[in-house]
Amino acid sequence: MTSFLAVFAIALFAILLVELPDKTLVATLVLSTRYRPRPVLAGVAAAFAVQCVIAVTAGGLLHLLPHRLLEGIVALLFALGAFLLARESLVSEEEAVTEDTPAGSGLTDRRIVGISFGVLFAAEWGDASQLATAGLVARYGQPVAIGLGAFIALVGVAFLAVGLGKVILRRVPLQLLHRLAAVLFGAFAVIAAVAAIRG
């Protein structure tokens, strides 16, 4: 059985790589340029926490299935994630930056937290990171390690978006990050598929 720290590191690295090129980074960046950063981060972190709990729960339920069926489902989840990321890499950077975000200024911190939570909660549904989190829990059966790794990765990306987002997007092509993440997901899908075939 893989250790807690090893699974935590796998989840942290996988979700970080997946989220760096994701619309989540862009949405957080846009929100932080329109509203005060602290309430934006609070709302975003709350949305990530809820989404991680949902993904970990789904992955935990999958983990109860027979091993061969479980590995097949995990392979499909990662293959779907790879497809979504590959498709996203074909979207132009201009389209990616025009995420719909609520307008308004002079809002209270509570309102900004609510807006940020709503935008990111919606953005994460069916997102590659949510699929990855569920798939990793199903694969390794360690929901706490994976949930914690995924949450820290997501919040880390939010901090990057607020602090360094513009620099990252200026220096590293968004499509390249999407393609790297798609390759990682494809590799996870192949590993799970091989495990399913071997039984």
pLDDT in tens, the chain (199 residues): 679 999 999 999 999 888 876 767 777 877 777 778 889 999 999 999 999 999 999 888 876 777 677 677 767 766 776 776 577 666 644 454 444 444 445 678 998 999 889 888 877 776 778 888 988 998 888 999 999 999 999 999 898 888 765 566 567 676 776 677 677 668 877 877 887 788 6
Print the domain residue range for 60. 4-198
- Alpha helices by DSSP H, the chain: 4-19, 23-34, 37-62, 67-89, 93-97, 109-124, 128-140, 143-171, 174-198
Report if pTM > 0.75.
no
Q: Do residues 157 and 169 lie in contact, with contact meaning Cβ atoms separated by under 8 Å?
A: no
Q: Which residues contact 146 (CB under 8 A, 6 or more apart)?
A: 7, 8, 10, 11, 56, 59, 133, 136, 137, 140
Handedness of CA 176, 177, 182, 187 (dihedral sign): positive
Number of structural domains (the chain) is: 1
d(CA 74, CA 134) in angstroms, rounded, equals 8
Tokens coding 111: 């309102």
Q: Which residues contact 144 (CB under 8 A, 6 or more apart)?
A: 4
Nearest CA to 124 out of 95, 146, 153 is that of 153
Distance from chain centroid for Cα 197: 28
